[in-house]
Amino acid sequence: MKTELRLPAIEVRQSAKRTLYTFAVDAKLVPSFATVSRIRRNTGDDLQGYQRPEVLAHIEEIRTYVESESPMIPNAVVLAFDSRVRFESHPGHKGAYARAGTLVIPVDDEAPEEERPGFIVDGQQRLAAIRDASVKSFPICVSAFVTDDVREQTEQFILVNSTKPLPKGLIYELLPTTDTALPTLLQRRRLPAHLMIRLNQDAASPLRGMIHTPTNPTGAIKDNSILKMVENSLSDGVLYRLRDGSGGEADIEAMLGVLFAFWRAVSTVFDDSWGLPPKRSRLMHGAGIVSLGFLMDTIAERYRHKGLPTEAMFVRDLKPLKPLCRWTDGYWEFGPGQQRKWNEIQNTTKDIQMLVNYLLLQYKSIVWNKPGAPRGRQLSLNGA
């Protein structure tokens, strides 16, 4: 059945040769007049189309969000129409560079997908999610242009999708200020990001102002190093035990109490290495931050029978390790044939694993297993 979809729209003339149309439409109607120009190669091995395949996990996350209580998708979908789509202006509704009117889109229910007048340039995953969502309708904003040139469609696809994304550090700083449903990866980082921001901002924090973020560019410690340290503990350390407090919420203040106590103890015991740039002190380097995080969890496990460890407990257990640590000079003695100069330690999985194993092995030998020492669960070296 052939019909026409008539949508109120605004025509925006950006230049002598470039005209855009903006309008709102129920996203569930979009498949009736627009399709995906799927990237593929023809029999002659020539590249055709420009869209990537649907990413099912990403679509599922968006669909869940659309089905939530009060979803909002403010960014517009971008469509390209061929010349079968026309714009009818309204008399008297004209500005310096825009005019109001109606966008007329032909719809043919019996036509194959490749013969539809519209092509999705940006928003494929969002439209697929709304298509599958259990909602009656979901209006979206659309920006569109008209062209019969596939090369122009491809050009706009590349330009739209090559725009530089937000810096991850800025996203992490913004996460704690939100409470809406987020994609899984961001949702997992919301709590670690909140703890990181508190570590960087609270007056009582020994790390106050020391974490490098977009709003604190003078900080010496990379935000991602703090996030990794916190995430490791939340996964299988002392912070894991505090994830569910009263009311089923994470006990943020108890978590911060442990973090403040440990890093204050670190600043006391390793005072000569504290607060220096990472190039001058591997204590402030990603490898040092993440490795000490595992040591924090191990010390907390040793004192588990007493509840949460205090700053004094952390200081007492860290002191015997100070003579063995080479944060600013000398060589780490990791074992036969494994001597490493202090500034050769890099923020890599291999180096962090080596440093963690060394610190935990020395801690087990010097502190954990000394006569009369309290015993927690079996000490594990499989962490980093």
pLDDT in tens, 164-204: 666 788 778 888 877 666 777 778 888 999 999 999 999 99
Residue (of 39, 59, 57) closest to 49 by Cα position: 39
Average pLDDT over the chain, rounded to whole?
Answer: 86
> Distance between CA atoms of 142 and 25, rounded to whole angstroms?
7
* CA angle at 236 for the pair 325 and 362, rounded to the nearest 5°: 25
- Going by C-beta distance under 8 Å and a sequence separation of 6 or more, which residues neighbour residue 321? 295, 359, 362, 363, 366, 367
Amino acid 112: pLDDT:
86
* From 25-34, 38-47, 338-347, the region with the lowest mean pLDDT: 38-47
Residue (of 233, 280, 269, 268) closest to 254 by Cα position: 233
Amino acid 55: pLDDT:
63
Q: Are 72 and 138 in contact (CB under 8 A)?
A: no
Q: Where in 52-209 does DSSP place strands (E)?
A: 77-81, 86-94, 98-108, 118-122, 139-146
Amino acid 157: pLDDT:
64
Amino acid 162: pLDDT:
61
Amino acid 321: pLDDT:
96
| φ, ψ (nearest 5 deg) of residue 292 | -65, -30
Residues 209-223: what's their mean pLDDT?
92
Residue (of 308, 325, 332) closest to 253 by Cα position: 308
pLDDT band at 38 (very low <50, low <70, confident <90, very high): very low
Q: Which residue has the tokens 């242009």?
A: 145
pLDDT band at 35 (very low <50, low <70, confident <90, very high): confident
User: Max CA-CA distance within the chain?
Assistant: 93
**pLDDT tops 80 at residue 160:** no
| Structure tokens belonging to residue 336 | 């036969």
Amino acid 42: pLDDT:
47
Amino acid 57: pLDDT:
78
Residues 150-171: what's their mean pLDDT?
69
> Distance between CA atoms of 270 and 359, rounded to whole angstroms?
14
Amino acid 381: pLDDT:
43
* CA angle at 362 for the pair 361 and 365, rounded to the nearest 5°: 85
Q: Tens of pLDDT along 349-376?
A: 999 999 999 999 999 999 987 755 555 4
- Going by C-beta distance under 8 Å and a sequence separation of 6 or more, which residues neighbour residue 139? 24, 25, 26, 27
Instruction: Give long-range contacts, CB 8 A cutoff, 24+ apart: 8-17.
Output: 8/100, 8/101, 8/102, 8/103, 9/87, 9/100, 9/101, 9/102, 9/103, 10/98, 10/99, 10/100, 10/101, 11/87, 11/89, 11/98, 11/99, 11/100, 11/101, 12/97, 12/98, 13/97, 13/98, 14/97
Q: How much is the CA Rg of the chain, to the nearest whole Å?
A: 29
Neighbours of 378 (CB within 10 A): 6
Amino acid 289: pLDDT:
97
| Structure tokens belonging to residue 174 | 């913004």
Amino acid 384: pLDDT:
43
Tell me the β-bridge partners of 146. 81
**pLDDT tops 70 at residue 380:** no
Amino acid 161: pLDDT:
60
Amino acid 17: pLDDT:
81
By percentage, how much of the chain surpasses pLDDT 70? 85
| φ, ψ (nearest 5 deg) of residue 360 | -70, -35
> Distance between CA atoms of 318 and 283, rounded to whole angstroms?
13
By percentage, how much of the chain surpasses pLDDT 90? 64
CB-hemisphere CA count at 13 Å for 372?
0
Compare 96 and 260 and report the one with higher pLDDT. Answer: 260
* CA angle at 72 for the pair 67 and 76, rounded to the nearest 5°: 120
| Structure tokens belonging to residue 232 | 């490791």
Amino acid 177: pLDDT:
75
Q: Are 223 and 167 in contact (CB under 8 A)?
A: no
* CA angle at 257 for the pair 255 and 261, rounded to the nearest 5°: 120
Neighbours of 356 (CB within 10 A): 23
pLDDT band at 377 (very low <50, low <70, confident <90, very high): very low
